[in-house]
Amino acid sequence: MSDKVLLDYGSGGRASHRLIKDLFLKYLGGPALNRLDDAAFIEDMHGPLAMSTDTFTIYPLFFPGGDIGSLAVHGTVNDVAMLGAEPRYLSCAFLLEEGLDMQDLENIVRSMSEAARNCGVQVVTGDTKVVPRGAADKMFINTTGIGRIIADPAPSGSRAEPGDAVLISGTMGDHGLAVLAHRQGLSFETDILSDSRALNGLTCNLIRQVGNVHVFRDPTRGGLATTLNEIASQSGMEILVHEERIPVHREVQAGCSFLGLDPLYLANEGKFISILPETLAEKALELMRSHPAGRDAALIGHVREGHRGRVILKTSLGGHRLLDMLEGEQLPRIC
Amino acid sequence: MSDKVLLDYGSGGRASHRLIKDLFLKYLGGPALNRLDDAAFIEDMHGPLAMSTDTFTIYPLFFPGGDIGSLAVHGTVNDVAMLGAEPRYLSCAFLLEEGLDMQDLENIVRSMSEAARNCGVQVVTGDTKVVPRGAADKMFINTTGIGRIIADPAPSGSRAEPGDAVLISGTMGDHGLAVLAHRQGLSFETDILSDSRALNGLTCNLIRQVGNVHVFRDPTRGGLATTLNEIASQSGMEILVHEERIPVHREVQAGCSFLGLDPLYLANEGKFISILPETLAEKALELMRSHPAGRDAALIGHVREGHRGRVILKTSLGGHRLLDMLEGEQLPRIC
């Protein structure tokens, strides 16, 4: 194979088949994918399912703490997990620009393979398109995932109830700031790494061992502030959160001050919000803190009746301010 | 909303939500999509499933006989149908270039909505990304579909057997030539239209009323020749087809001669190959010809033992030639 991606690799012909065999099957192969039929055969899915899709356009392809390949696995696995499901199967569609470095592609596919293995999902079907130079920027990846819902009823943004506790699984803003700092060539005292990781291990534990989770949601694009607004709007509730209880890495805080950004609006790729009855909050926190994906978990606020769809931040100085949804684009191509 | 797509529309914030509400939910909304959770809740999927994914990069977005929106529905619906399944649910991920015309986007989403309704599938989850001007060419769409497999065993390229008849559902090369002629501004006596259409109605009828279909496959990229080679290779069989039995529109034949192209290597988006026992061929043909998607169906050849993975074309003049797989890229961005 050439050391650059050629248009031929997307033709559906012999060159495409070589790419599929020598690269995709090598790293992602398994009983379903190896069949090379038009669709994957999935034998063992019964009961209610969760399905989610995401196209990843992150720039640059490699960033501190991850790359577009592992991110594309984690992102969709997490979205499926947020519905109270065990993610099981992924489709994976590559959109490649002619001339992309083959070594970069191989590193990314290998990274996807490791990420998929680590979170227990199989890539069962795929697609590759190559577009001429200039028609895309290097590489985009779509992953779509399905999983079996194990929570009954399934968590939903609409199920937040008065009195519920609002928990987050860790620090806010790491992914957004890591990518931005890397793009701009900024360096801080210590490296800020993306928090890109799979959350399904911990969310499934919470469902099985704590139960009755009303809402799971991962605060990706738009950050914690936007996601809380979505939940408030879906459920028709008001949410109050305490600024000083929201964990933010010192370096992220410093970087945000320097760049004029707010960590509550920065994307996260390995954190989730969990909303459940106050009586279960302690047990949930304990379980979260005992898991690598939830070490810095915190109870940050409560749901209450009040102004429908409003999120209020109680500041460190004791004041209150409206925490609004992100209006426009703070940072393009963050995921 | 602006009359052009803005970066803000992909932010995950307020502008994204307006786009989702005013455009995507307007046309594609339904019980699952309207929930606006991270993943779709699918209640009624049991038993073995088929899953398939495809990213559509076709240029131009609108072409004679279709557009990227309906194509993105048909393409994935057809791939799911090829596994002997009833397609049921689609995810849909838009990748938009900043500055894309909003009216074009609306027309495409409306076209997807009609196509989905016509083939009985629901869009249950989605994603929208906007990348800065120049990072993508106008618009790409990924659709991923799941369906319930109703054939037992499921058809597969590996199941072609000696003595099986090889049927195709209609004329070859229409999609490829229509797009190419449109791109180059060529005009022929009559317009050549893409054959983009859903095939699941007819394939499900074949399974239910004829049964025992060994292989379904839609000859998209790489055309009939490449797809037959895939089947020969998966099953370890030899396939013999008769050139004069392969239906090709007169205008497509003329256009191909003019442009130096071979219709057997051109993409189709509304045709399928069906391979089944010779004894069922007449019944299958009759059923196919009575359906709008199979009016020009023909028995074009047979499967036999012989040289593993080889496809032989018996020419109109009585000679034999090896029908090889497409080597490189004949026509970029055809689907």
Residue A38 domain-assigned (yes or no):
yes
Q: Give me the residue from A93, A216, A326 closest to B54, CB to CB.
A: A93
Residues of B in contact with A10 (CB under 8 A): 221, 329, 332
Residues B146/B89, Cβ–Cβ less than 8 Å = yes
Residues of A in contact with B131 (CB under 8 A): 57, 137, 332-333
* Per-window interface: A 115-144 vs B, CB < 8 A: 124-127, 129-132, 134-137, 140, 142, 144
Q: Closest approach of chain A CAs to the CA of B291, in angstroms?
A: 23
Q: Closest approach of chain B CAs to the CA of A93, in angstroms?
A: 6
Residue B246 domain-assigned (yes or no):
yes
* B282/B224 same-domain check: yes
Q: What is each CA distance from A57 to A121, A136, A256, B144, B285, in whole angstroms? A: 22, 10, 23, 18, 46
Report the pLDDT averaged over residues B294-298.
98
CATH code for position B225: 3.90.650.10
d(CA B282, CA B292): 18
Q: Which residues constitute the domain of residue A178?
A: 157-322
Helix axes B174-184, B250-259, angle to 10 degrees: 50
Q: Which of B125, B149, B173 is the last residue of a domain?
A: B149
Task: Tally the residues of chain B.
Answer: 335
Residue B140 domain-assigned (yes or no):
yes
Residues of A in contact with B17 (CB under 8 A): 230, 325
**Chain B contact for A45 (CB, 8 A cutoff):** yes
Residues B109/B129, Cβ–Cβ less than 8 Å = no
Q: Closest approach of chain A CAs to the CA of B19, in angstroms?
A: 12
**Which residues share a beta bridge with B66?**
B63
Check residue B50 and give its pLDDT: 94
Best residue of A44, A329, A330 to probe chain B, by most B CBs closer than 10 Å: A329
d(CA A295, CA A283): 14
Q: For the segment B118-165, what is each residue's pLDDT rounded down to a tens digit?
A: 999 999 999 999 999 999 999 999 999 999 999 999 999 999 999 999
Residue B189 has pLDDT above 70, yes or no: no
**Which residues share a beta bridge with B217?**
B273
Query: From first to last of its 335 residues, what are the pLDDT tens digits of chain A?
Result: 789 998 888 888 888 888 988 999 989 888 888 888 888 888 778 878 999 999 999 999 999 999 999 999 999 999 999 999 999 999 999 999 999 999 999 999 999 999 999 999 999 999 999 999 999 999 999 999 999 999 999 999 999 999 999 999 999 999 999 999 999 888 776 789 999 999 999 999 999 999 999 999 999 999 999 999 999 999 999 999 999 999 999 999 999 998 899 999 999 999 999 999 999 999 999 999 999 999 999 999 999 999 999 999 999 999 999 999 888 777 889 99
Check residue B213 and give its pLDDT: 98
Q: Closest approach of chain A CAs to the CA of B331, in angstroms?
A: 8
**Which residues share a beta bridge with B247?**
none
Residues of B in contact with A31 (CB under 8 A): none
Phi first, then psi, for residue A283 (nearest 5°) are -60, -40
Question: B133: how many CB neighbours lie within 10 A of its CB?
Answer: 11
DSSP assignment string, A24-58? IIHHH--HHHHT--SSEEE----S-EEEEEEEE--
Residue B335 domain-assigned (yes or no):
no
With 0-12 / 13-18 / 19 or more C-beta atoms within 10 angstroms meaning exposed / middle / buried, residue B310 is middle
Angle A298-A304-A306 (CA atoms, 0-180°, nearest 5)? 140
Q: Closest approach of chain A CAs to the CA of B15, in angstroms?
A: 6
Q: Which residue of A has its CA nearest to B89?
A: A51
* A179/A313 same-domain check: yes
Residue B179 has pLDDT above 80, yes or no: yes
**Chain A contact for B70 (CB, 8 A cutoff):** no
* B131/B163 same-domain check: no
* A77/A26 same-domain check: yes
Report the pLDDT averaged over residues B262-276.
97
* B128/B215 same-domain check: no
Report the run of H or E that residue A216 belongs to, with start and end. Answer: strand A215-217
* B144/B166 same-domain check: no
Cβ distance B333 to A132 less than 8 Å, yes or no, reads yes
Q: Which of A122, A149, A176 is the last residue of a domain?
A: A149
Alpha helices in B193-238 (DSSP H): 200-209, 223-235
How many residue pairs from chains A and B have C-beta atoms closer than 8 A? 294
Report the run of H or E that residue B118 belongs to, with start and end. Answer: helix B102-119
Check residue B136 and give its pLDDT: 97
Q: Which of A149, A184, A202 is the last residue of a domain?
A: A149
* B80/B174 same-domain check: no
Residue A329 domain-assigned (yes or no):
no
Check residue B197 and give its pLDDT: 98
* A306/A184 same-domain check: yes
Q: For the segment B202-237, what is each residue's pLDDT rounded down to a tens digit?
A: 999 999 999 999 999 999 999 999 999 999 999 999
First to last CA, chain B: 29
Q: pTM value?
A: 0.95
d(CA B39, CA A157): 11
Q: What is the mean pLDDT of chain B?
A: 94
* B95/B227 same-domain check: no
* Per-window interface: A 194-233 vs B, CB < 8 A: 216-218, 220-222, 226, 230
Check residue A189 and give its pLDDT: 67
DSSP assignment string, B231-251? HHHHHT-EEEEEGGGS---HH
Tell me what ipTM this predicted complex has: 0.94
Check residue A114 and give its pLDDT: 95
**Chain A contact for B38 (CB, 8 A cutoff):** yes
Check residue A185 and give its pLDDT: 87
* A143/A249 same-domain check: no
Residue A162 domain-assigned (yes or no):
yes
* B132/B191 same-domain check: no
CATH code for position A110: 3.30.1330.10
d(CA A53, CA B129): 12
Helix axes A200-209, A278-289, angle to 10 degrees: 140
Pairing of strands A49-56, A139-149: antiparallel
Q: Count up the domains in chain B and report the number.
A: 2
Q: For the segment B236-257, what is each residue's pLDDT rounded down to a tens digit?
A: 999 999 999 999 999 999 999 9
d(CA B221, CA B335): 8
Reference B8, options B136, B132, B142; nearest CA is B132
Q: Which residue of A has its CA nearest to B92?
A: A53
Non-local CB neighbours of B247 within 8 Å, separated by 6+ positions: B168, B170, B171, B172, B296, B298
Cβ distance A39 to B140 less than 8 Å, yes or no, reads no
Report the pLDDT averaged over residues B3-32.
87
Burial A252-270 (b: 16+ CB within 10 A, else e): beebbeeeebbbbbbbbbb
* A249/A230 same-domain check: yes
Residues A57/B62, Cβ–Cβ less than 8 Å = no
Cβ distance A7 to B328 less than 8 Å, yes or no, reads yes
Alpha helices in A185-314 (DSSP H): 200-209, 223-235, 250-259, 278-289
Best residue of A97, A142, A156, A261 to probe chain B, by most B CBs closer than 10 Å: A142
**Chain B contact for A152 (CB, 8 A cutoff):** no
Residue B224 domain-assigned (yes or no):
yes
User: SS3 for B109?
Assistant: helix
Q: What is each CA distance from A29 to A85, A93, A275, B296, in whole angstroms? A: 24, 14, 38, 38
Bond preceding residue B277 cis, omega within 30 of 0: no
**Which residues share a beta bridge with A314?**
A242, A320
Sign of CA dihedral B41, B44, B46, B49: negative
Residue B64 domain-assigned (yes or no):
yes
Cβ distance A11 to B54 less than 8 Å, yes or no, reads no
**Which residues share a beta bridge with B276?**
B165
Q: Residue holding tokens 């501190």?
A: A64
